[in-house]
Structure 1
Amino acid sequence: MPRHQSTTAQRARQAQRKTGGKYTVELRQAQAGSRPGPFTLGQLLTACGTAPDWTGKNPVVGPECAPEMFDFAPLGGPVPYSAVLLLLGLLAPTSRSTELELESRNGFHSLIVACSGRRFELVLSQDDYVTERCRVPGCELSPVSARSIPYCALRHLAARSEGELVEMATEWGNAQHEEFSAQSPAAVPLGEEGDQLIAATVAQCAFFPVQAALIASAYERPDMVDVVYFGEQAARVQHAMDTEYFRLMRVAAAARTRIQKLVGGRCACGAALQIGAGPKVPPQFCSAACATAAGR
């Protein structure tokens, strides 16, 4: 069994194979009858501060390595104090009435808890381990950026809509600008995260609006460069923007080539795929007509 996959998740996979339904739907249905209901942040905080130590035997690690734990039924059993405190810190400054819910638990190994669309993994066999996961229920992968790009690059980021991708590009660009522009406004890195976001746009034919949002938020709107900056500094910022513009074009072209290779270089109609089929033609199709016929 995968490290984070509970028995409930296994049942959902089996149901998916039998019915052909979506895994996330099957998972929610399987969990509905087996997991505890929602609880509040205040209830978790109170239990962490007042519940007695759990004194049972940890079946995963020996007593010399086992974390100190307390029993909390809404999370399916004992949980480490330290992990809960870390979770509370990650959720600050949300109110005590904020609701959380157990998504899945794998014995004494780990659990996934959801809160306001965010998902966190708590490792139960050691102290001080909490990490945020991709926001799609059932996904075990890490997000590109927990705050700005909260979906995994491998499976779910490319499935987001154009509007969501533009919003994430703006969030990431603003975060990078805030962190790096004080030292040099022409040296704001878009990073691997920016490249992963751009690569994801190819499947949605959303490259140009996302590219524009990313560059404008990280540096400046093109029509405002000479207003915000002066002289040599304005020239450096404009040069950085132009450099990133063409570099991101290459990132998108490489992503398009990868997708076309995955489908064998041919459209479903049998025609060879072309690099320049059009900005609104998904890379796995030879034309807009073929994409429309396939429901894209």
Structure 2
Amino acid sequence: MTRDKKRKAAVRATQAATGERYVRAARASAGPVNGPVDGKTDGPERGRVESVFALRELLGECATLPPVEVDWGWDPDFGGGPDVFYSQLLGAAIPFGTVLELAGQLAREGRGVELCLEALSPLGSAVVSAGQRRFNLIISQDSVYELCGKPRCSSTPEDELIPWCREHLAECTPDALVAMAEDWGYAQSDGSDDDLTARGGAEEAVALIRAAVTQGVYERVLAKLLDACFDSEDVIDERAFWDAERALAIRQAIERERLRLEQAAAAEYRRIQKETGACAVCGKGFRFGIDMAVPAQYCSPGCVPPPPATAVPDPEPW
């Protein structure tokens, strides 16, 4: 049983014995990570920490704890900092607005999503992760911005719907890549009446395709991108009934984008094999030609490692 599961089991036992709400019992059992209420600490300014909790627990603190006074380290005549409360989950003072903004950015994931505190600089910033998404909570400025999904990376994501930087995008899972391609593609046309024939040419699509070559899901990502960015074949056929010339122009635009992405994929495939020189597992030389169904760094499907096991989340506490 992990430390977090033990903590949750203890909280549930306390909840059953006292009749308290889960959030209150969790807050009572959580110890601070760094520093007292005034935000000062004798420990290191920034370091690795171990704290895992649900977003609903942090929201519970935000809704029930009173504001506290902190020394921001500057002349109050220049203005004070944001209103904060002392979070026992984070072990530091955190602005009310920062928690609410974080909750807004995680609205699709829901209040039950687990947060992991990666790093903390009291009254400076805190880095938290939620699955493959990571956020930098700027405490002194009452703001939140998303980081690359790669742990310890301080770069910003490629796009709002592609939560990895270009350097690390190929390290996310194949299914995540396919989902990002679909979400990003639909965002290009969502609520837009622009000319479909003018779509295409975005660098974000190239970044997704290059990552897909590394993961062996090029065909899946390409199909999702084209189908989401443009109309599906059924819709184009329906358009052709009313305006054959426009339907033909859309098909030509799709084929131009397909060719552009195919060329980007082939160039990335050759680049990877040139840099690696041989199969990453068996050490054999690469075969002649391009097989997009196999990640470029492997010589055959037999050398491709199995995907990592998917963790099963804890059941809801209520």
Provide the rounded CA distance (Å) in 2 between the counterparts of 1:170 and 1:93: 16
* Paired residues of 1:41 and 1:99 also in contact (CA < 8 A): no
Are positions 1:284 and 2:293 aligned together?
Answer: no
Give 1:173's match in structure 2, choosing from 185, 192, 201.
185
Q: Shift in Å at residue 86 of structure 1?
A: 2.8
Q: Shift in Å at residue 130 of structure 1?
A: 0.7
1:108 aligned partner:
123
Q: Name which one, 1 or 2, has greater alpha-carbon Rg.
A: 2
Are positions 1:8 and 2:48 aligned together?
Answer: yes
Aligned to 2:127, what secondary structure does the other structure show?
strand
Are positions 1:236 and 2:249 aligned together?
Answer: yes
Counterpart code for 1:228: R
Q: Shift in Å at residue 270 of structure 1?
A: 6.4
1:207 aligned partner:
218
* Corresponding pairs, count: 256
2:265 aligned partner:
252
Give 2:159's match in structure 1, choosing from 132, 142, 145.
145
Distance 1:200 1:66, change over 3 A: farther
Give 1:131's match in structure 2, choosing from 145, 153, 161.
145
* Paired residues of 2:278 and 2:297 also in contact (CA < 8 A): yes
Q: Shift in Å at residue 216 of structure 1?
A: 1.1
- Map residues 20-59 of structure 1 onto 2, 5 A cutoff: 31=50, 35=51, 37-38=53-54, 40=57, 42-47=59-64, 51-55=66-70, 57-58=71-72
* Paired residues of 2:82 and 2:95 also in contact (CA < 8 A): yes
Counterpart code for 1:76: G
Distance 1:78 1:278, change over 3 A: same
* Paired residues of 2:157 and 2:163 also in contact (CA < 8 A): yes
TM-score by length of 1: 0.71
Q: Shift in Å at residue 201 of structure 1?
A: 0.6
Provide the rounded CA distance (Å) in 1 between the counterparts of 2:172 and 2:106: 26
Provide the rounded CA distance (Å) in 2 between the counterparts of 1:167 and 1:221: 17
* Paired residues of 2:52 and 2:114 also in contact (CA < 8 A): no
Are positions 1:119 and 2:134 aligned together?
Answer: yes
* Paired residues of 1:42 and 1:97 also in contact (CA < 8 A): no
Distance 1:123 1:266, change over 3 A: same
* Paired residues of 1:36 and 1:76 also in contact (CA < 8 A): no
Provide the rounded CA distance (Å) in 2 between the counterparts of 1:276 and 1:253: 10
Q: Shift in Å at residue 113 of structure 1?
A: 2.9
2:23 aligned partner:
none
What is the CA RMSD across the aligned residues, in angstroms?
3.4
Provide the rounded CA distance (Å) in 2 between the counterparts of 1:204 and 1:79: 39
* Paired residues of 1:144 and 1:151 also in contact (CA < 8 A): yes
Identity, in percent, stands at 30
Structure 1 unaligned residues grouped into runs of 5+: 10-30
* Paired residues of 1:176 and 1:190 also in contact (CA < 8 A): no
Provide the rounded CA distance (Å) in 1 between the counterparts of 2:269 and 2:109: 40
* Paired residues of 2:197 and 2:249 also in contact (CA < 8 A): yes
Counterpart code for 2:229: A
Structure 2 unaligned residues grouped into runs of 5+: 1-44, 307-318
Q: Shift in Å at residue 66 of structure 1?
A: 5.8
Distance 1:66 1:114, change over 3 A: farther
Q: Shift in Å at residue 109 of structure 1?
A: 2.4
Aligned to 1:250, what secondary structure does the other structure show?
helix
Aligned to 1:132, what secondary structure does the other structure show?
strand
- Map residues 178-197 of structure 1 onto 2, 5 A cutoff: 178-180=190-192, 182-189=193-200, 191-197=202-208
Provide the rounded CA distance (Å) in 1 between the counterparts of 2:291 and 2:130: 40
Q: Shift in Å at residue 196 of structure 1?
A: 0.9
Provide the rounded CA distance (Å) in 2 between the counterparts of 1:95 and 1:272: 47
Provide the rounded CA distance (Å) in 1 between the counterparts of 2:197 and 2:267: 25
* Paired residues of 1:105 and 1:112 also in contact (CA < 8 A): yes
